[in-house]
């Protein structure tokens, strides 16, 4: 299987490249320096030259708060850039898997979101990804859109790494307890994406680790498993205002993933594996 990956140097990209390399695929791994999604001619050229069976589009402008003040950039990369890839994929006869987000939903539900639930993003980031989904389905009806959430992994910034860093210098940290979702380990997500390609998946698929929690519950588990003495205090979103509104509930139903006989580990198991290969900082006593 010939595969071209856009966003190979990102948090998910590292694990995806590793998963594909281990399976003897003909892989073209592109960072943003190799191919800017906004450059339609460059995108078309690399896809024409690599002649992939599958294109995996991970690259995106993912600074959720930054998107609020850089709307044009968010749409240029996340929407128009994705359209450039889809159009080139159609010309080359390649399949496309597009990684999307739980932020396409407004968070008003209290049961897991199904793939058929209407999009209603409340942030610029979510809106840029939602519009991209709609455009890609028009250009490539057979596209596979893999929505995921709350990514963590090695090789970049993520929530567990932040909690570990804060816990090394503070005796107490405050974390919001009124946003609920499914933490997803990039290593597990990468494996699932490869399986979706091999299954010739199409349409929208929700791909997260199993189970759900709040950010506070996640932080408390990180501290507990790591054996750190830091106290974790639950607070409300209102006490920590951010430029972009986050969904209060963004748990994604796994039914669409199970339809391909793919199962994801529980988030607690994924977190233990992540922490098992992450150095725990020595707390600094004030």
Confidence of residue 156 (pLDDT cuts 50, 70, 90): confident
Confidence of residue 280 (pLDDT cuts 50, 70, 90): low
- Write down the mean pLDDT value for the chain: 95
Phi, psi values for residue 274, rounded to 5°: -65, -50
Partners of 236 in the β-ladder: none
For residue 242, is pLDDT > 70? yes
For residue 216, is pLDDT > 60? yes
Confidence of residue 236 (pLDDT cuts 50, 70, 90): very high
Short-list 120, 30, 29, 136, CA closest to 79: 136
Q: What are the boundaries of each domain within the chain? A: 2-157+183-212+246-270
Query: pTM of this prediction?
Result: 0.96
Mean pLDDT of 238-252: 96
Mean pLDDT of 213-217: 98
For residue 277, is pLDDT > 90? no
| pLDDT tens digits, 130-154 | 999 999 999 999 999 999 999 999 9
Q: Half-sphere exposure of residue 142, counting CA atoms within 13 Å on the CB side?
A: 13
- Percent of the chain at pLDDT > 90 equals 92
In the chain, how long is the greatest CA-to-CA distance? 61
For residue 286, is pLDDT > 60? no
Note the pLDDT of residue 278: 76
224 Cβ contact list (under 8 Å, min separation 6): none
For residue 128, is pLDDT > 80? yes
Q: Which one of the listed residues 113, 125, 216, 249 is annotated catalytic?
A: 125
For residue 80, is pLDDT > 80? yes
Short-list 159, 209, 194, CA closest to 16: 194
Asked if 191 and 16 count as a contact pair (C-beta separation under 8 A), the reply is: no
Note the pLDDT of residue 284: 61
For residue 155, is pLDDT > 70? yes
Confidence of residue 281 (pLDDT cuts 50, 70, 90): low
Mean pLDDT of 1-23: 92
Confidence of residue 244 (pLDDT cuts 50, 70, 90): very high
Residue entry with tokens 């856009």 = 6
Note the pLDDT of residue 208: 98
Short-list 229, 228, 235, CA closest to 214: 235
Greater model confidence, 283 or 6: 6
For residue 104, is pLDDT > 80? yes
The domain 2-157+183-212+246-270 is placed in CATH, from the list 3.30.530.20, 3.40.50.720, 3.20.20.140, 3.90.650.10, at: 3.40.50.720
The rounded distance, in Å, linking the Cα atoms of 87 and 74 is 19
Note the pLDDT of residue 108: 97
Note the pLDDT of residue 59: 97
Axis crossing angle, helix 215-226 with helix 267-276, rounded to the nearest 10: 40
Whether residue 260 lies in the annotated active site: no
| pLDDT tens digits, 14-73 | 999 999 986 667 999 999 999 999 999 999 999 999 999 999 999 999 999 999 999 999
187 Cβ contact list (under 8 Å, min separation 6): 15, 19, 153, 270, 273, 274
Note the pLDDT of residue 23: 60
Note the pLDDT of residue 24: 61
């Amino acid at each position: 299987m010939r595969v071209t990956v856009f966003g190979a140097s990102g948090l998910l990209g590292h694990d995806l490249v590793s998963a594909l390399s281990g399976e003897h695929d003909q892989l073209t791994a592109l960072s943003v320096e190799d191919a800017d999604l906004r450059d339609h001619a460059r995108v078309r050229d690399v896809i024409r030259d690599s002649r992939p069976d599958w294109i995996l589009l991970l690259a995106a402008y993912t600074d959720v708060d930054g998107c609020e003040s850089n709307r044009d950039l968010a749409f240029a990369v996340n929407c128009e850039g994705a359209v450039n890839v889809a159009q080139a994929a159609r010309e080359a006869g390649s399949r496309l898997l597009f990684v999307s987000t739980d932020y396409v939903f407004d968070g008003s539900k209290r049961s897991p979101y199904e793939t058929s639930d209407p999009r209603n993003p409340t942030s610029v980031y979510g809106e840029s990804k939602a519009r991209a989904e709609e455009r890609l389905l028009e250009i490539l009806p057979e596209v596979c859109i893999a929505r995921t959430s709350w990514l963590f992994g090695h090789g970049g910034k993520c929530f567990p790494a932040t909690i570990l860093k804060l816990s090394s210098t503070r005796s107490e940290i405050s974390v919001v307890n009124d946003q609920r979702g499914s933490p997803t380990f990039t290593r597990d997500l990468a494996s699932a994406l490869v399986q979706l390609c091999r299954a010739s998946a199409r349409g929208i698929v929700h791909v997260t680790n199993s189970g759900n929690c709040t950010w506070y519950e996640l932080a408390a588990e990180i501290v507990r498993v790591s054996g750190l003495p830091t106290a974790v205090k639950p607070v409300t979103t209102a006490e920590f205002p951010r430029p972009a509104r986050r969904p209060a509930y963004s748990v994604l139903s796994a039914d669409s993933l199970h339809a391909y006989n793919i199962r994801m580990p529980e988030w607690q198991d994924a977190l233990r594996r992540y922490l098992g290969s992450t150095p725990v900082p020595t707390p600094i006593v004030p």
